[in-house]
Amino acid sequence: MKIVVLSGGVGGARFVQGVVEVADPADVTVVGNVGDDLEVLGMCVSPDLDSILYALAGLNDERRGWGRAGETWNALESAAALHGETWFRLGDLDLGLHLVRTQALRSGEPLSAVTAGFVRALGLETGLLPATDDRLRTWITTPEGEFTFQDWFVARGHRDDVDALRFEGAETASAAPGVLEAIDAADLLLLAPSNPYVSLAPILAVQAIRDALEHRHVPCVAVSPLIGGRAVKGPADRMLSRLAGGTSPAHVASCYTGLIDSLVVDEADADALDGLDVRAIVTRTLMTGADARRRLAETALGVVPA
């Protein structure tokens, strides 16, 4: 069974790990968000693609939730001593990847090719594709002004309410090579339990990807990132309250109108299904460890008979 997963960073990566543990990893293609990408200390950083890559390779720090296990911070401390920018945390091990990517991008290689190179180098069988090779950047409008995604999320600790989002470059962005082909060949499409507004919306802002999902002939299942109406981590619940008017499964599904047939929701939300216009699949969705994420992935895969 061929599977495509649309995914943001940390939450999405956890789910993707579960998917490749219950399906043949070679049958899985992950399409990652690039709206969070940034240039910091002269380097090109793709935080969501890297979270997925590190999780797939087993290099991620499960306890911290982001970055690499066994990380050290010497380069950043050295930059701090020289009054360099340190608001965006880049560890020593992580830096190696950004150096290689930055050099490759500057020499003209597209992000999809650079990412495929990392996948090969790490011996992974799963496909990992950026949504687009074109420049696409998420901007956040707040009562305090408009900020780039990382300025709002990291530097300002996502404390400002969000009034609107803008995906710079999305109007003209093409899907990266392989994305539409993978969607076309898929038996199942999955939307990871990522933040609908800042992780999945930038992917769906690429018109060709949205069109491909709208015209799908196979099931498309989203997993809700909320449990009991609350985000496990991050601002998804606050954003849904303000932008969609609530945090019920129906509000989550409203982010994916016309794109999904089913929504996997937590048992804690089972009595809040009013107004949900897609099939609800109720299960435990907290990915506390390997077993929990495998069970969640199995449930999502279960919509397609084996």
- Return the number of the residue (7 or 299) whose C-beta is nearest Ca ion: 7
Q: How far apart are the first and last CA of the chain?
A: 8
The answer to whether the CB of 47 falls within 8 A of the CB of 122 is no
| Region binding Ca ion by CB under 5 A among candidate stretches 13-21, 46-54, 109-117, 125-133 | 46-54
Query: Which of 36, 133, 237, 269 lies at the binding interface for Ca ion (CB under 5 A)?
Result: 36
> Measured between alpha carbons, how far is 109 from 54 in angstroms, rounded to an integer?
21
The answer to whether the CB of 202 falls within 8 A of the CB of 170 is yes
Q: How far is the CB of 249 from Ca ion (least distance, A)?
A: 22
Query: Which of 34, 128, 212, 231 lies at the binding interface for ligand GDP (CB under 6 A)?
Result: 231
**Does 202 interact with Ca ion (rule: CB under 5 A)?**
no
**Does 285 interact with ligand GDP (rule: CB under 6 A)?**
yes
Query: Which of 236, 250, 263, 276 lies at the binding interface for ligand GDP (CB under 6 A)?
Result: 236
- 280 φ/ψ angles, rounded to the nearest 5 degrees: -95, 135
Q: How many CB atoms lie within 10 A of CB 219?
A: 17
- Return the number of the residue (128 or 218) whose C-beta is nearest Ca ion: 128
**Does 8 interact with Ca ion (rule: CB under 5 A)?**
yes
- Indicate the helix (H) or strand (E) that contains 75: helix 74-81
- Indicate the helix (H) or strand (E) that contains 114: helix 111-121
Q: Which residues bind ligand GDP (CB under 6 A)?
A: 7-12, 14, 48, 51, 192-195, 199, 223-225, 227, 231-234, 236, 285-287
